[in-house]
């Protein structure tokens, strides 16, 4: 996964973490994003069944405030 930050404000993020929540809402896996802007990446293990799972990205700014967004995942047909 190669996350991108809107408006080119990559340096405003102290930490970026991505993860997957399984269908029951438990955190299945998460990882810190590593690397410089443009090629930052994280390694995640996805659950066998994606239906009901969510991919999330959490960004912590230098002020300590955390922001999280998430998207549902579905199995390809």
Distance CA 29, CA 21 (A): 7
The residue among 59, 55, 62, 1 whose CA lies nearest residue 27 is: 55
pLDDT value of position 11: 76
pLDDT value of position 3: 53
Residue 71 scores a pLDDT above 80: yes
Hey, what are 28's tokens?
A: 């299945």
pLDDT tens readout for residues 14-66: 889 999 987 666 677 889 998 888 788 899 888 888 888 888 888 898 889 88
Distance CA 59, CA 39 (A): 17
């Amino acid at each position: 996964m190669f996350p991108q930050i809107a408006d080119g404000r990559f340096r405003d993020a102290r930490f970026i973490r991505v993860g997957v929540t399984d269908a029951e809402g438990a955190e299945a896996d998460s990882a810190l994003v590593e690397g410089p802007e443009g090629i930052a990446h994280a390694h995640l293990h996805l659950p066998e069944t994606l239906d009901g799972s969510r991919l999330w990205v959490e960004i912590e700014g230098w002020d300590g405030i955390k922001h999280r967004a998430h998207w549902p995942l579905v199995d390809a047909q």
